[in-house]
């Protein structure tokens, strides 16, 4: 069985949905499972609904705008009396009904119940359209198959239960399901982290022992740098799992960091290809004698640099580190780069949930801290050390680190 994942850009409007069918026609629509993201910027728009709800503002108008957009997409795909229009209305009625009835003050819980509806609606529209044009498929609710704990917005997969449910699927037919979402033991929706649809595809690939997994993007494949940020980048046609994992860890946006480990465990080939030009080979990630180790550039923006030091000039010891990383875990803040000396620790942080100020307050009870927001982490993989001076030009470097031909610098 093959796993195909299509992101929001590939289903952003009616023409894009039609293009998905053309991609499937070129690849052969048989024995495959499609994992689909929310349409276009729907996730961002539903995030705004949640923000308006908690600020006690008029969220209903925003819901209506999002619903109208989806109805317009459906009008470009279906006859006016098609049952899909009632389905779309029902999904948006459910969002409004949930918010009116909700008593939970837990922002992350409410976020997951609302924002996940983007994937539910997009998959229903795509599944119905494919059936309409004779690409027979079955729509699946991913929440019935991907089981997690109740860490809302950062769900941890229960692999035993998930594999039990997914492995029961009939591998002889085609399915359309959602990325990004699962459910906890009480069947409440839990999301897998922002951009988690790639991870969802890897979960299904692992549990189904898939023949291959392909992610369809609006780029030709994995490049040596984001072409929107770097000049003269080239396509990496073959890279190892290890290289892809390193690139994802350092912030390469084309690959979700959690995606690769399940695929590597079962040696499932992973392709990144263009839905604009599906005939091109794209990038293959996996074991191959053709694997490349080219100099690659990664820019991770919107980071925070936090410097922590002891008040009495004592060493940063193991008990200090334990306390600091306990706070990082508490506030769900991820470390992108760490550098320590005898009496200080510098951390480049990714603060997805905007909690770094709370973290800083906690740390200031025990340490001296210095914080710099809105910095960038620039990484050069497989750096040619003899040419390293060029990377420092026109940059205000706050922190740097070199290890195994990898150069990293935090810049302002």
Closest C-alpha among 278, 14, 7, 3 to residue 128: 14
Strand order in the sheet with 283-285: 138-139, 175-178, 32-36, 2-6, 212-217, 270-274, 283-285, 238-239
Burial of 168 (0-12, 13-18, 19+ CB in 10 A): exposed
Query: What's the CA gap between 408 and 394, in Å, rounded?
Result: 15
298/300 Cα distance (integer angstroms): 7
* Tokens encoding 200: 């969802």
Residue 153 assigned ligand-binding role: no
Is 161 annotated as a binding-site member?
no
* Residue 411, marked binder: no
Strand 296-309 with 368-381, pairing: antiparallel
29 is in an annotated binding site: no
Give the N- to C-terminal CA distance of the chain in Å, as an integer. 47
123 is in an annotated binding site: no
Residue 304 marked in a binding site: no
Q: Is 381 annotated as a binding residue?
A: no
Cite the annotated binding site for substrate by residue number. 43, 119
Cite the annotated binding site for ATP by residue number. 5-8, 228
Cite the annotated binding site by residue number. 5-8, 43, 119, 228
């Amino acid at each position: 069985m093959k796993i195909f994942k299509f992101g929001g850009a590939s289903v952003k409007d009616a023409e894009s949905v039609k293009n998905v069918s053309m991609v499937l026609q070129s690849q052969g629509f048989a024995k495959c499972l499609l994992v689909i993201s929310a349409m276009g910027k729907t996730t961002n728009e539903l995030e705004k609904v949640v923000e308006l709800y908690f600020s006690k503002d008029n969220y209903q108008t925003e819901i209506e705008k999002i619903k109208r957009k989806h109805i317009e997409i459906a009008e470009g795909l279906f006859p006016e009396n098609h049952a899909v229009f009632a389905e779309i209305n029902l999904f948006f009625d459910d969002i409004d009904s949930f918010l009116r009835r909700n008593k939970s003050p837990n922002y992350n819980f409410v976020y997951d119940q609302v924002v996940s509806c983007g994937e539910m609606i997009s998959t229903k529209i795509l599944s119905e359209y494919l059936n309409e044009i004779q690409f027979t498929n079955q729509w699946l609710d991913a929440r019935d198959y991907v089981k997690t704990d109740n860490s809302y917005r950062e769900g941890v997969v229960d692999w035993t239960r998930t594999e039990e449910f997914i492995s029961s699927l009939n591998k002889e037919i085609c399915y359309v399901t959602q990325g990004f979402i699962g459910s906890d033991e009480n069947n409440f929706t839990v999301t897998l982290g922002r951009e988690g649809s790639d991870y969802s595809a890897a979960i299904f690939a692992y549990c189904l022992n898939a023949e291959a997994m392909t992610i369809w993007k609006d780029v030709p494949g994995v490049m040596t740098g984001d072409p929107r940020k770097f000049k003269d980048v080239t396509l990496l046609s073959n890279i190892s799992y290890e290289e892809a994992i390193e690139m994802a860890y350092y912030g390469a946006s084309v690959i979700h960091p959690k995606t690769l480990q399940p695929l590597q465990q079962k040696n499932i080939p992973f392709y990144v290809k263009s839905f604009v030009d599906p005939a091109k080979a794209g990038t293959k990630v996996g074991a191959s004698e053709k694997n490349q180790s080219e100099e690659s550039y990664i820019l991770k923006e919107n980071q925070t640099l936090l410097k922590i030091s002891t008040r009495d000039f004592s060493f940063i010891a193991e008990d200090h580190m334990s306390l600091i990383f306990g706070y990082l875990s508490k506030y769900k803040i991820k470390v992108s780069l760490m550098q320590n000396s005898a009496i200080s620790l510098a951390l480049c942080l990714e603060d997805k949930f905007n909690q770094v100020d709370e973290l800083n307050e906690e740390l200031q009870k025990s340490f001296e801290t210095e914080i710099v927001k809105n910095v960038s982490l620039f990484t050069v993989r497989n750096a040619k050390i003899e040419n390293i001076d060029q990377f420092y030009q026109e940059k205000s470097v706050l922190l740097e680190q070199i290890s195994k031909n990898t150069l990293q610098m935090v810049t302002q």
